[in-house]
Structure 1
C-alpha cells in the first residue's frame, strides 16, 4: 500500500499494534485526504468538540469534561504549519549530531534503540499553543493581532511516555562548550508568501535539554496519534507548544547560538519566547445560559508553564468582589512535571440576568495573572484575567 492510499479512516482505525507495524508505508507525508474540515489534520473533528481553522483545530472549551483530568488525544487541539505526515515507526530515525558532541557526526537512533537502551519515564505537562487566548486581545482589550483566533481551547494536560533527552545526550557524549540544541521535524517544508523556510525547527538551550526535555512516543497510555507527533516528538515541559517539535527527525547540538524563523520571525517578543504564562478558564460555554438556583456550582481550571497553581481567586460580579476558589487535588502529582489545577466555587443566590465571571490564578513561584495582557502584534501569551460572559435565566 502506498502512503497516498492510506485514508483517514484507515489511519485512525489502527490499534497500537497496527501503528507499530506500519512497515509498508514510506517515510513521507500523506496526501491531503478528501474530507470536509481541515485538510491538514487526520483525526476526526466533530463540531461538538472542535473549532476547525483549516490547518489548525481548537478544542471547544465547553466540551471539556469536568470529571476528566487528562486531555485525550482525540480531544487535544492541533497546531500544524503544513499538514500531518504519516510515518513508518519501524523506519523512522532520529539523528543527533553537531559540534557540541564528542563525535560531531553523532548517532542515528531508531525507536527500538530508544526503547531498549534508555530508562523509560513519564512526565505530565500542560501542553499549550503560544497563541492560546489570542482572540481576546481584540474582544477584551480592543487590540488587533494576527494569527489563528484561538479562544481558550488550544491547551490540554497530557501524560507523555518516552525517555529523558539528558540520558540520550549523556550516552552520546557532550563537549565542553555545548550550549544549544536545534530540534527539527520531518513534516513538509513550510512556504510563506512564496519563500521556502524549510522544515519547522526551533532551538533551545542545552540547560533545558539536560533538565526536563523529553522524547515522547506515547500519550496517556497510547501511542501518539499522527496529528500529535507519531512516532516521536520532543516535549519541553512548560514551554510554548511550538518548542515541542512534532515528528522529530534531528537534534543538532552546537557550541554556538542557533536560530530559525520560528525563534526570530515568529514566537519572539523582544527575544525568543519560552515559558507559558499563568491562565485560567471557567468550564462553561461562552455566553452560557445558566438555570437559576439558590446555589450554583461552578468549576474551572488554571495552569502555568512555570509551576503548579497555588491559589485561584474568583469573582461572579465582574470584579467588584473576590473569593478564593476551592482547589482540587492534582492527580499524577507523583510524576515529573505538573498539569493544570481544577477548582470550584459555589455561587450563592445569583440574580437573574447577565454577569461576568472572572478567575485569577497565582502559581507557586508567585506569578499571577494580570488584568491586562501585554500587547504584541502576533497575539502571543494572552494571560489577562478573562471576563467570561454568562446569563442566569
Structure 2
C-alpha cells in the first residue's frame, strides 16, 4: 500500500484554491503587474494563445560565471542545462560545477560583507511598513542554529521539449530536455527561525522573498526583481535560507551569499540571491504566480490553474541521446527518478520501447525531496534503433503516465520519456 500523501500537501492544495479565488475576486495584491494587464493575459491564454517565451533584460557578456564545457552543459541563453551523461557515477549529490543554472538575467557578483536580508511588511509585529525593516547580516545568519538538508532543485519547465517531441504539443519557453535539475546537500538556517526572530505576527498569511539579480523585462514591461510568495505554513515547515552547497559557500550562479530553498516545489520558489522578504497579513501575488507558473490551456480552468507548487514525477537515464550498445553483450544502464509528492519507491524499465517492463534495482533508500538512483542489466540481441523507458512510482501512489496533460507554458511534464539508443 502506498504511504499517505506527505504532511502539508493537502493544506497546500487548499491554499492554492483559496488564493486563486481571492485573486480572481480582487481580494489579494498582485505586486508589479496591474489587474487589467493580468486579465488581458489570462484571456489571451485561455483562448489558446501561448504567451511566448519571456524576454530577459539585456544580460552581461557572461550571464553565467562558472565554466560551461560543452561535454557537461547545453547553453540556453542565460541558462545552462546539465547533460545527463555527465552525471554518470557522480554520486547522489550533483557536484557544484555540474549543477544546472536557471537565471532570469545575469548572475550578480555580490559580497557577503555588504549583504543584508531585510524583513518587512504587515505580517510582522513591529514592522508595519517597509520603512522599519528588520535586518540580518551574513554573520547574523551563520550564528543561528544550522540545518543540513539534501534536496533537489528543478525548473518547472524541465523536460518541456518532450511535449513537442513526444506529443506534438506547441508550448512556449526554454526547450529543456531533462537536465534542469540537480540534488545538493544544502546548509543554512530555517526560514521559520528568522521569521520568528523578526517578530512574526499571528495575522501573517504570506511570505514573499525577492532576489537581488537585475530587474526582469517581459514583453516590454519591467516586472521588477524576481519574487514569489509562499504560504506561511510552507515557510514555517521545511524552507531554508541556505548559504552552503555541498559543503562549500554557495557559488555565485547558485545564489551566493544566501538563497531560499523550498524542498519539493518548482525551482522558481527557491529564490536565489535573496535580499528582502515581505511578510504580509494580506494574500500576495507577483508575475511569477499569476502570468507565469500557472497552467493554461484547454485541459485547465478557463482563467488558469492555481499557481503551481510541488514538482511532478520524472525519470532519466544517465545516457546521451543515441548512445550506442553492442548486441550480444551485457550492459548495465543507470538512471535516477524523483518526485515532488514523495519518495520514489519503485522503477520499471523497458528496453523494447514499452512492450515489456522489468523492475530496476534501487541504489538508494527512498527519501522525499531527493532522487532515487537505480540500475538495470540489459543484453540486447538485435542491432538497430530502440528506446529505453523508465517509469517511476512514488509514496503518494503516483506513477508516470504514457502522456502528459499539455499546458501552454510546458510546465510539469511527467510522462515516461522515450530515450533513443542504437544497438550495433
Q: TM-score, normalised by structure 1?
A: 0.87
Alignment match of 2:64 (pick from 38, 41, 62): 41
Q: Which of the numbers 319, 331, 334 marks the counterpart of 1:296?
A: 331
Whole-angstrom distance in 2 between the partners of 1:81 and 1:390: 34
Cα-to-partner distance string for 1:88-120 (whole Å, 9 max, x where unaligned): 10110001111111112341001100111x201
For the residue of structure 2 that corresponds to 1:109, the secondary structure is strand
Match of 2:46 in 1: none
1:254 to 277, 280, 285: 280
Residue 18 of structure 1 corresponds to: none
Shift, 1:338, TM fit:
3.5
Matched, 1:176 2:211: no
Deviations 1:164-189 (A, max 9, x none): 11111122222122110011001100
Correspondence for 1:26: none
- CA drift of 1:294 comes to 3.4
Tell me the equivalent position of 1:109.
136
Q: Are 2:332 and 2:377, in contact at CA under 8 Å, matched by a contact in 1?
A: yes
Counterpart for residue 166 of structure 2 = 140
What SS class does the counterpart of residue 358 from structure 1 fall into? strand
Residues 295 and 350, structure 1, Cα contact 8 Å, conserved in 2? no
| 2:377 maps to which of 346, 350, 370 | 346
Deviations 1:217-242 (A, max 9, x none): 11000011111000010000000011
Query: Does residue 1:32 correspond to 2:60, yes or no?
Result: yes
Equivalent residues in 2 for 1:118-133, closer than 5 Å: 118-133=144-159
- Whether the aligned pair in 1 keeps the contact of 2:121 and 2:278 (CA below 8 Å) is yes
Structure 1 unaligned regions, length at least 5? 1-30, 34-38
Match of 2:111 among 73, 88, 92: 88
**RMSD of aligned Cα (Å):** 1.7
Aligned mates of 1:200, 1:174 — CA distance in 2: 23
Give deviations 1:289-322, integer Å, cap 9, x for gaps. Answer: 1122332211110011122111101111111111
Q: Check if 1:59 corresponds to 2:86.
A: no
Match of 1:325 in 2: 360
Q: Does 1:386 align with 2:409?
A: no
**C-alpha separation between the residues in 2 aligned to 1:111 and 1:279?**
36
**Segment drifting more, 322-331 vs 165-174:** 322-331
1:57 and 1:349, CA in 2 relative to 1: closer, same or farther beyond 3 A? closer
Offset at 1:264?
Answer: 0.5
Moved over 6 A (4+): none
- The whole-number CA distance in structure 2 between the counterparts of 1:145 and 1:329 is 34
Q: CA–CA distance in 2 between the matches of 1:160 and 1:80? A: 19
- Report the alpha carbon displacement of residue 193 of structure 1 after superposing the two structures with TM: 2.4
Runs of 5+ consecutive residues of structure 2 not aligned to the other structure:
1-58, 296-304
**What is the correspondence of 1:237-316 to structure 2 with a 5 Å cutoff?**
237-269=263-295, 270-316=305-351
Once the two structures are superposed, what CA deviation does each residue of 1:162-215 show, in whole Å capped at 9, x if it has no partner? 111111112222212211001100110011122111000100100000100100
User: Structure 2: how far apart are the matches of 1:273 and 1:55?
Assistant: 23
Partner of 2:405: 374
Hey, what's the Cα distance between the residues in 2 that align with 1:102 and 1:258? 18
2:93 corresponds to which residue? 70
Alpha-carbon offset, residue 154 of structure 1: 0.5
- 1:2-22 per-position Cα deviation (integer Å, ceiling 9, x unaligned): xxxxxxxxxxxxxxxxxxxxx
Aligned partner of 1:22 in structure 2 is none
Deviation at 1:67, TM superposition (A): 4.3
Say whether 1:365 aligns with 2:375.
no
In the other structure, the counterpart of 1:21 is none
Shift in Å, 1:32: 2.3
Q: CA deviation at 1:43?
A: 0.8
